[in-house]
């Protein structure tokens, strides 16, 4: 079975398990943040560009971006316990510990190679880690981010060991898109409000005479 097919089956299983009920639906119809698979070289997908990186190094960076995003969600999204962001994140660390370590080592070698020395490489790696985490900070889009992270974290539970990098390629676009604030999609943004009625004038005696509204005294009849 191909990698893509294996992951597709895993994701489908996750949706089947979580289909009823939906986890923490913040909107009647949320914005669809899903997107196509990425490699890590696309603008805006990875936290910072990695010039000269190999496909394996780009995948490692995506994996660590995914880990950081779900870590931020585990800390920021506990206001909605049904999202299970903390438990899912801990499960990710346990199930994919070897792959995460391998990815971290791969990134370390990249920065040593590009920085020119072990010391400079470690500094660059530390800076990369800081930027990765800060890149998932959001306030206005918190609801959308938490919902997307909750769904991705749920799917990650079913990803076979050794396939986390491929999973990150398939889901990073969605996680990045969720950092943009979107509101309710079920209804239009422009609401046609009724013109306010001057209710206080209905009880004003000067506006009425023998049951008839006095236009000269109070203007046109409120409507």
The Cβ of residue 200 has, within 10 Å, a number of other Cβ atoms equal to: 8
- pLDDT at residue number 20: 36
Whether this model's pTM surpasses 0.75: no
Q: CA–CA separation, 128 vs 144, rounded Å?
A: 25
Whether the per-residue pLDDT at 19 is higher than 50: the answer is no
pLDDT for position 109: 95
CA angle 194, 196, 202 (to 5 degrees): 130
- Report how far residue 18's alpha carbon sits from residue 202's, in angstroms, rounded to the nearest whole number: 55
DSSP string, 96-128: THHHHHHHHHHHHHHHHHHHSSHHHHHHHHHHH
At residue 140, the pLDDT reads: 73
Query: Is the model more confident about 84 or about 139?
Result: 84
Q: Confirm if 160 and 95 have CB atoms less than 8 A apart.
A: no
Nearest to 181 by CA among 22, 31, 72: 31
For the chain, what is the largest distance between any 2 Cα atoms, rounded to a whole number of angstroms? 97
113-123 confidence digits (pLDDT tens): 999 899 999 99
For residue 16, pLDDT over 60 is answered with no
Higher-confidence residue of 203 and 180: namely 180
Higher pLDDT, 124 or 138: 124
How far apart are the C-alpha atoms of 52 and 125, rounded to whole Å? 15
């Amino acid at each position: 079975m191909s990698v893509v097919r294996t992951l597709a089956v895993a994701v489908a299983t996750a949706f089947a398990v979580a289909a009823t009920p939906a986890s923490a639906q913040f909107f009647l119809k949320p914005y669809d943040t899903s997107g196509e698979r990425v490699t890590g070289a696309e603008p805006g997908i990875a936290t910072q560009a990695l010039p000269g990186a190999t496909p394996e190094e780009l995948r490692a960076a995506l994996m660590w971006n995914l880990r950081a995003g779900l870590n931020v969600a585990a800390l920021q999204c506990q206001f909605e316990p049904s999202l299970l962001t903390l438990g899912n994140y801990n499960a990710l660390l346990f199930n994919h510990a070897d792959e995460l370590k391998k990815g971290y080592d791969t990134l370390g070698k990249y920065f040593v190679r590009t920085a020119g020395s072990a010391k400079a490489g470690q500094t660059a790696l530390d800076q990369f880690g800081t930027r990765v985490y800060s890149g998932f900070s959001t306030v206005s889009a918190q609801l959308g981010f938490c919902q997307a992270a909750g769904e991705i974290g749920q799917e990650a539970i079913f990803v076979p060991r050794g396939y986390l990098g491929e999973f990150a390629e398939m889901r990073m676009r969605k996680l990045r898109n969720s950092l943009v604030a979107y509101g309710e999609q079920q209804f239009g943004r422009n609401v046609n409000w009724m013109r306010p009625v001057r209710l206080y004038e209905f009880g004003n005696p000067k506006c009425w005479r023998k049951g008839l509204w006095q236009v000269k005294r109070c203007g046109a009849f409120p409507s």
